[in-house]
Chains A and B, each alone.
Chain A
Amino acid sequence: MSTMSRGWDAIVVGGGHNGLVCAAYLAKAGRRVLVLERRHVLGGAAVTEELVPGFHFSVCSYVVSLLRPWIIRDLDLPRHGLEIIPLEAAFSPLPDGRSLCRWSDPERTRREIAAFSKRDSEVYPEFGKKMGQLARFVKPIIDTPAPRPTSLSPLALLDMVKLGRRFQDLDRDLQGTLVKLMTMSAADMLDEWFESDVLKAPMSVSGIIGTFLGVRSPGTAYVLLHHYMGEIDGAFRSWGFAKGGTGAISEAIADAARRFGAEIRTEASVASVLIRHGEARGVVMADGEEIRAKHVVSGLDPHRTFLKLVGSDHLDESFLATIKRFKMRGSSGKVNLAVDRLPYFASRPGDATCLRGDIAIAPSVDYLERAYDDAKYGDFSRRPFINVVIPSIVDPTLAPPGKHIISCFVQYAPYAIKEGAEHWPERREAFGDAVVDTLAEYCPGLKESILYRQVLTPWDLEQEFGLTEGNIFHGELSLEQLAFQRPAAGWAHYKTPIERLWMCGSGTHPGGGIMGAPGALAARAMLKKGGS
């Protein structure tokens, strides 16, 4: 890429947070960059919208953990308004009125767990320490381009880890744990450590979020590790709220990009990539306008990028087949509520402090597995796993005084329901009812307090947010779809078979979540290429 001639050096398709990060890095390096976003707001799945006056919802993603600190520093995001507030608690109410709450204070957590299992209460910090050690060991994977493999088996990832870092120096114990993480299910892995279901259930869910897998499906243990990789503060810490909702993260990145000179347009839908002689020359907008650029970067998922924007004419059979095989399989939905009072949890009456974090409706491992069973047969879970947050408690700017917003991330809601995905709109409210009914069992009075409800099914995530099959991560984060296989073997370094067309979305390494790494690493790859 050069800055010599006029015109755009790069067009970024999609103003999701990764597209914006990519644009910011390119602009920072002096490139002329144009971002084109289909919707009226920026952020994609990291977006805040005022759905009813006074209530600001993080419509899709709702907590942040993996946003890379080096990106925060490079783009000076705090100066552009980024503020992250750590979650203070992880609360798991039970239907029988008991509950477990884990806190940032380890002693307090120990006492809570001891009420269920004294043994577990003492093992818990050991587990945390071990996961923390391993997370550090695999962390370089998410901060650098995917390793180049020697073989294409998912376990090659383990080989890469072994080679890349001093695997041999790790003590035996850690080596063993790492191998297990790569192969076991989240539930089995936790069984080896803990006896109490009340603890295991909420811990195991981080292995299944965004996948069409159950807590007993092999390979889900590895995703647990991602949970421990979340960094608030550079030290290993867990999740946080973005002040102003997750859209504020996207806004801060967009602000930084603009300051570096990028131009950003909303309500600008790209119909296709303009391709001449196997080379991207720009884009064609939905209204027919052509915009030329030296490079095009797609922040959309791989299906959308290749099957819609590029089209099969320009791609060879085997590549097309690989992209089609890349599993999207959305499995989650979202219910957003505006309520006129603080929800009341029957198991902790009068204690609002345990609501200042996330609340897991995951009373037992069996419960989670049953929820998965419904989905296996093409239905949404009658009793779903729900991850609830009430961000207006810690960030009162999100709702009018005394009122609150409740965000419910729900699993499972399979894209391919048995009636066919296009029939989701008819089942939408039934799905919403299942979620509210389930939550109301823990939270009496909830229904009466609801002022507004938004139900997002995987179908809605696809239609409104452009997430193919409603997959929240642009493709499942399962072992065989990570690193050098993301999105396709041989194409894991942001390049595509089309010259001058690049990828920068969550469908590329290191994957989904509000992380920014795909966008930043893509920009680096482009700049390196252009520099030579």
Chain B
Amino acid sequence: MPIPSPFHPRTSVLCTSYLWKEWAGYHAVRSYETSHEREYLAFRHGAGLLDVSPLCKYEVKGPDAGRFLAYVTVKDVTKLGLGRVTYLCWCDPRGHVLDDGTITRWDDDHYRMTSADPSYAWLHRNARGFEVEITDVTEELAALALQGPNSRAVLAAVFGSELESLRFFRGVRAQAGRIPVEITRTGYTGDLGYEIWIPAQHALAVWDALVEAGAAYGLLPAGLDALDVTRVEAGFILGGIDYTSARKAVIPSQRSTPQEIGLGWAVGLERDPFIGQAALCREAREGARYAMVGLDIDWDELEHLYDAADLPPDLSPQAWRSSIPVYHGVVQVGYASSGAWSPTLKKNLAIATVEAAHAPIGTELAIEWTVDHARKTVKATVVPRPFFDPPRKRANVVHEAATSA
């Protein structure tokens, strides 16, 4: 049975819809109200506050911490600067992706890793010969994602205006009163946003401070349904949905390489040995068979399909997660694994795995679409991800004093 997160005393009172789901063994709010719309809008126009405590979190410390993580993941994180965050994945010895997550370097010999699935055993098993200490801090460390165009202002109001200058994919230690927290400018919405890592016993105090300061900035507690739409707009993949972890794959075709899930850019091949290196080198030479692409599903065609059935286009406001065939002509060349109608872009979007030959931007494919219980196909064009990429996501704050001088 799922357990409550450290924020449960607050979230459970606010969740008047009673819409919950299980996330990595925790109770997690899907949407606080019966519709997630306002929470979605908070992410895009104000600020959304999301409990991400269920993320698996590991402290990796010791003289070999960097070398160890560079060995178990696809990136040479010994090169990661202090206070920097990186997104990456890790593979099994055959180069198949096990999971993806972030690594933050807090000190020379102190890193923190997040993952979707529990990874302690796997880290531990591979630590032989390295002088490292791995601690699972999932339960001790509560976490909040504060995302949206106003998130910077809310953050500054609670933790001080120094926070404004925190740059994209950097982390910093901060304090709210006497409560020590860590803040990274990261998130899963593809917008300006932060994640706040809080000792669990102080979780509620930080929540309260953010909610109070956020009142003037349109802050709303937000759930996973709203997050799901933003993450599709951002074009982010989701383990277990858009790809299957090699750990869970039952047959070979279910496994994916980093290249195949669009994370080829994260792989550093030319370096000291790491898990999966030989296989990934081979793939780099021979080319990947599949590619992860963004699809823009043609709205006019879709509307015509509905029109022919005398129906208005009726798309769910929820993001969907199911496998839907993708065709080139009449031949199936892949499948979409998740998608959503983007209220911001007014586009119907999907994330799909297709044969590499059909992956170039601009390729016209077709996706299956069910209208009035009948299966049809609609044109879907391969477009770059992120679908939605506002400049504020990466923008740095230029202080007024500096510009007016």
Contact = CB atoms under 8 A, between A and B. Distances in A.
Contact of A83 (B34, B216, B300, B344): B344
B315 interface: yes
Interface stretch (B36-44, B89-97, B165-173, B243-251): B36-44
Interface string A484-508: 0000000000000000000000000
Given A70-B300, A88-B38, A236-B312, A401 B346 contact: no
Contacts of B33: 105
A69 B346 contact: yes
A434 interface: no
Q: Which of A73, A133, A234, A402 has the most CB of B within 10 A?
A: A234
Contact of B35 (A105, A136, A236, A395): A105
Contact of B315 (A70, A72, A86, A234): A234
A85 B216 contact: no
Contacts of B313: 234-235
Contacts, number: 63
A448 to B, nearest CB: 22
A86 B39 CA distance: 12
B216 A402 contact: yes
B37 A73 contact: no
Interface in B172-230: 216-218
A104 B346 contact: no
A232 B38 CA distance: 14
A73 B299 contact: yes
Contacts of B41: 85-86
B345 interface: yes
Interface string A72-110: 110000100001011010000000000000001101000
B240 interface: no
Given A83-B344, A235-B312, A105 B34 contact: yes
A88 B220 CA distance: 15
A132 B306 CA distance: 14
Given A70-B300, A394-B218, A402-B216, A235 B315 contact: yes
B341 interface: yes
Given A105-B34, A236-B312, A243-B45, A78 B218 contact: no
The 8 closest A-B pairs by CB, nearest first: A69-B346, A72-B346, A136-B312, A78-B345, A233-B343, A78-B344, A401-B216, A85-B45
A169 interface: yes
A161 B299 CA distance: 23
A133 B344 CA distance: 25
Contacts of B46: 396
Given A70-B299, A86-B37, A234 B346 contact: yes
B314 interface: yes
Interface of A: 69-70, 72-73, 78, 83, 85-86, 88, 104-105, 107, 132-133, 136, 166, 169, 232-236, 243, 394-396, 401-402
Nearest to B307: A136
A78 B37 contact: no
A234 B348 CA distance: 10
A396 B315 contact: no
Contact of A235 (B35, B314, B345, B347): B314
B388 interface: yes
Contacts of B300: 70
Given A73-B299, A105-B35, A132-B312, A233 B218 contact: no
B312 A396 contact: no
Contacts of B314: 235
Nearest to B34: A105
Contacts of A236: 312
A166 B308 CA distance: 11
A234 B341 contact: yes
A144 to B, nearest CB: 12
B162 interface: no
Contacts of A83: 44-45, 344
B287 to A, nearest CB: 32
B314 to A, nearest CB: 7
Contacts of A88: 38
Interface in B297-321: 299-300, 303, 310, 312-315, 317
A243 B37 CA distance: 16
Contacts of A166: 310
B45 A395 contact: yes
A402 B217 CA distance: 10
A104 B312 contact: no
Nearest to A401: B216
Contacts of B315: 234-235
A169 B310 contact: yes
A233 B348 CA distance: 10
Given A132-B312, A234-B315, 20 more contacts: A70-B299, A70-B300, A72-B345, A78-B388, A85-B45, A104-B37, A105-B33, A105-B34, A107-B34, A166-B310, A232-B343, A234-B313, A234-B346, A235-B312, A235-B341, A243-B45, A394-B218, A395-B45, A396-B216, A396-B217
B157 to A, nearest CB: 11
Contact of A233 (B310, B341, B388): B341
A10 B38 CA distance: 43
Nearest to B315: A235
A135 to B, nearest CB: 9
Interface in B342-377: 343-348
Interface string B103-135: 000000000000000000000000000000000
Contacts of B299: 69-70, 73, 234
